[in-house]
């Protein structure tokens, strides 16, 4: 009997409903190579979505926080999901994960030091079926040092700020993840920084907040930062209370030179010729290979600031819109595009930087420089240009319209730009996020009628939104879903 066969016999395995056997360690080995993961455990979840006999592959992941800190990445779930979506097409369908749960705690092990897959499944399977993410219930009382940390003057002020920003009513514990338990994303961290600066009346280094993943990390980081803190910054750069006008004031600040220099506003002949060639090649490709058709192009404003906001299911979405835009708007148009942190080393290339600038991309990610990217987008709209903004953020893996991000509502509200929904059909079938290569499939792009921010805000508030930004995002999503249903 060969050594390979003997190794497989003694490996953990999973029997699928189809009768096929898969080895979770092989799946774990694949995924840990494509994202900064310290450890992961793959198991099956039975009875998801109310289907008793359903069987889904799930993973509990302990991320490598040190690796994420190197890139200043704080939105762990988004970063890992984006990488998984890009590479999962290399696996057979029956070995792809349905989803994953992130934990900042060590995974349970047997007395022999091996990963205790049964214990992981016992703890996490009920939570997965119930849709619960974040920290596990704390069974033990906090230690004396942890209690002192919570009850310290620094800890009390930080917990007050966390409650204000997150809106959480329950008691916040040290093990809470800022992202998963408190729902504090990149924009939330910007608001949190302002709140903490006002609470402590000092200038706190960004690293103390951007490198914190849990409440405990945050309190310890702020405590260290306060020891080195300098006086409050000059008046024009001070943070403001989280009140009406907060985001308006932040967006009106010019982007830093690095970001401002990446915006291309000139109408030089070379720039015009370059964009003409790119647009022409893109148009021909989509006509030949995807038989792209456009509807409602008359709805795209010819002058003034406007935001096209499409559904997002494929890497073909942006180029498909570019192939369908009327000529004049196409030459005065910018794209707010997601560039993951894995790509950042390549953006240091002068050639790629100039290429991104000439094509009029505004690159962003959810972890660093997001505010600067929003400021760049705001400036583009103030210059009365058009902007393509994908409010879902990442591509949908189901083809359905996902939840809109808060940044979309903020930019729409504070810029006052007209909003034009864009329904894209066929791009998901041509190249979903789970496929490695595109295939030939007709694509149709439908432009809806321009919508006013004021009308969307009123509608969203009547739908139960808690604030203006959420209201705009909620009503705008509804308009896009209705347009998509007509396509």
Within the chain, all domains assigned CATH 3.40.1130.10 are found at: 257-486
Residues of the chain with CATH 1.10.1200.10: 144-242
Superfamily holding 257-486:
Glycerol-3-phosphate (1)-acyltransferase (3.40.1130.10)
pLDDT digit string, tens, across residues 86-121:
888 889 989 999 999 999 889 999 888 889 999 999
Number of Cβ within a 10 Å radius of residue 338: 17
Tokens 């989509």 correspond to what residue?
A: 286
Q: Mean pLDDT across the stretch 195-218?
A: 86
Residues 283 and 281: their CA atoms lie apart, in Å, by 5
Q: Tell me the whole-structure pTM to 2 decimals.
A: 0.79
Closest CA relative to residue 365, chosen from 3, 72, 35? 72
Task: Evaluate whether 68 touches 74 at the Cβ level (below 8 Å).
Answer: yes
Structural tokens at position 349:
């290339």
Helix extents (H) in 291-426: 317-324, 327-330, 344-347, 350-358, 370-382, 406-415
pLDDT tens digit sequence for 337-359: 887 654 555 556 777 777 778 88
Which architecture does CATH list for 144-242?
Answer: Orthogonal Bundle (1.10)
Q: Give CA 435 to chain center in angstroms.
A: 20
DSSP code, position 221:
H
User: Which residues on adjacent β-strands are paired with residue 246?
Assistant: none
Alpha-carbon Rg for the chain in angstroms: 24
Query: How many CA atoms lie within 13 Å of 451's alpha carbon, on the beta-carbon side?
Result: 28
Least confident among 94-98, 137-141, 262-266: 137-141
The answer as to CATH 3.30.300.30 being correct for domain 3-129 is: yes
| Confidence bin at 16 (pLDDT 50/70/90) | confident
DSSP string of 127-184? HHHTT--SPPPP-SPPPHHHHHHHHSHHHHHHHHHHHHHH---SPP-TT-BTTTTT--
Is the pLDDT at 10 greater than 50, yes or no? no
Compute how many other C-beta atoms are within 10 angstroms of the C-beta atom of residue 70: 11
Strands (E), 208-273: none
pLDDT of residue 50: 67
Q: 83 with 341: CB under 8 angstroms?
A: no
């Amino acid at each position: 009997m060969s050594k390979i066969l003997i190794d497989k016999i003694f490996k953990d395995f999973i029997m699928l409903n189809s009768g096929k056997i898969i080895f979770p360690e092989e799946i774990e080995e694949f995924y840990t190579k494509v994202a900064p993961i310290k450890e992961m455990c793959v198991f099956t979840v039975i009875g998801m979505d109310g289907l008793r006999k359903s069987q889904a592959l799930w993973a509990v992941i302990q991320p490598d926080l040190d690796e994420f800190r190197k890139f200043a990445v704080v939105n762990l779930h988004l970063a890992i999901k984006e990488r998984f979506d890009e590479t999962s097409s290399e696996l057979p369908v029956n070995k792809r994960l349905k989803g994953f749960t992130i934990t900042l705690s060590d995974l349970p092990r047997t007395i022999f030091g091996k990963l205790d897959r049964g214990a992981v499944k016992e703890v996490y399977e009920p939570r997965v079926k119930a849709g619960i993410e974040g920290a596990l219930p704390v069974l033990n009382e906090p230690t004396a040092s942890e209690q002192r940390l919570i009850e310290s003057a620094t800890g009390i002020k930080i917990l007050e700020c966390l409650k204000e920003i997150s809106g959480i009513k329950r008691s916040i514990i040290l093990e809470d993840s800022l992202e998963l338990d408190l729902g504090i994303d990149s924009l939330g961290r910007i608001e949190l920084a302002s709140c903490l600066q006002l609470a402590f009346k000092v200038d706190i280094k960004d690293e103390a907040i951007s490198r914190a993943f849990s409440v405990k990390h945050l309190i310890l980081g702020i405590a260290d930062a306060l020891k080195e803190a300098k006086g409050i910054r000059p008046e024009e750069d001070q943070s403001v209370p989280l009140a009406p006008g907060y985001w308006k004031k932040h967006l009106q600040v010019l982007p830093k030179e690095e970001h401002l220099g990446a915006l291309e506003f000139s109408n030089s002949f070379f720039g015009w010729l370059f964009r003409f060639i790119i647009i022409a090649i893109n148009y021909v490709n989509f006509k030949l290979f995807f038989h792209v058709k456009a509807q409602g192009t008359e709805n795209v404003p010819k002058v003034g600031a406007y935001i096209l906001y499409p559904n997002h299911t494929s890497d073909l979405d942006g180029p498909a819109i570019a192939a369908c835009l009327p000529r004049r708007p196409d030459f005065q148009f910018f794209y707010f595009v997601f560039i993951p942190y894995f790509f950042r080393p390549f953006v240091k290339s002068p050639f790629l930087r100039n290429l991104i600038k000439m094509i009029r991309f505004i690159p962003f990610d959810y972890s660093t420089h997001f505010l600067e990217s929003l400021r760049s987008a705001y400036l583009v709209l103030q210059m009365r240009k058009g902007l393509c903004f994908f409010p879902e953020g990442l591509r949908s893996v189901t083809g359905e319209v996902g939840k809109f991000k808060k940044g979309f509502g903020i930019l729409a509200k504070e810029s006052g730009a007209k909003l034009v929904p864009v329904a894209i059909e066929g791009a998901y079938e041509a190249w979903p996020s789970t496929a490695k290569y595109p295939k030939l499939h007709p694509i149709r792009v439908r432009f809806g009628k321009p919508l006013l921010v004021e009308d969307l805000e009123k509608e969203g508030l009547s739908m139960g939104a808690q604030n203006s930004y959420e209201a705009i995002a909620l009503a705008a999503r509804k308009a896009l879903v209705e347009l998509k249903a007509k396509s």
